[in-house]
Amino acid sequence: MTAKPARSVDDAAAGTGSGGDIPRHVAIIMDGNGRWAQRRGLPRIAGHRKGIEAARAVVKTAGALGIEVLTLYAFSSENWSRPASEIADLMNLLRRFIRKELEALAGEGIRIRVIGNYQAFENDVVELIDSAIARTANNRKATLVVALNYGSQSEITDATRQIAADVQSGALAVGDITNEAIDARLSTHDLPPLDLLIRTSGEKRLSNFLLWQAAYAELLFTDTLWPDFGEDSLRQAIEEFTQRDRRYGGL
């Protein structure tokens, strides 16, 4: 099968080109903050702070490119195993990010969504997240999804429990358990299908992130540490995506 002509990243930013090749939904595993700091003889928190700057640049660039949904893996359900001091630092950065960036994101027409059990965080963090979601709920230009205390296996398990309960109550027949029925019970059910999943820092695994959603997503692994991943890095990743031939199991 011959790959169709790709719409360039510059075309997307300018609103020209044939259309259809720029991914609608991009997800990123933001990895490498600690190693970035370690290589510079800095505390890990310095890497996380620099990572916030990278996130800000990537959100801005995604909007300029016309990406509809950007999903960032910010805190996994496994991250609770980190030292308490580092978790406290991460929560403080989350507080600061919401307070500092919320109005700018809202003004740019970006809707904020959160996937994962963020209700497990401290009350003031939960209130800040709820406020950010409510403040941007009617925005339609683009969606920023932040995965907080998220684990894909737990998400799929919860969907399975919902299906079991629906079958038990008679609301769903066993024969109606389909891929679509499972997908409808995931936290991403109302988002476009995942097109591209990027992981930084050279690691080549999904780390319990969007396992179901990534079934036919394009995967891109880069050695760049997350704090060094900015506008140019995202543009290069999208450019590579436009060159790929997505066959979805066909010829």
pLDDT digit string, tens, across residues 61-110: 999 999 999 999 999 999 999 999 999 999 999 999 999 999 999 999 99
Residue 136, in any domain of the structure: yes
Binding site, annotated residues = 31-36, 44, 48, 76-78, 80, 82, 199, 205-207, 218
Number of structural domains (the chain) is: 1
User: Among residues of the chain, what percentage have pLDDT more than 70?
Assistant: 92
Binding site, annotated residues for substrate = 32-36, 44, 48, 76-78, 80, 82, 199, 205-207
pLDDT of 247 reads: 78
Q: Show which residues are catalytic.
A: 31, 79
Distance CA 60, CA 139 (A): 15
Residue 121, in any domain of the structure: yes
pLDDT band, residue 249 (cuts 50/70/90): confident
pLDDT digits (tens, 9 = 90+) for 19-55: 448 999 999 999 999 999 999 999 999 999 999 999 9
- For residue 85, the domain's CATH number is 3.40.1180.10
Residue 7, in any domain of the structure: no
Residue 9, in any domain of the structure: no
pLDDT of 17 reads: 36
Model confidence pTM above 0.85: yes
Print the domain residue range for 136: 22-243
pLDDT band, residue 216 (cuts 50/70/90): very high
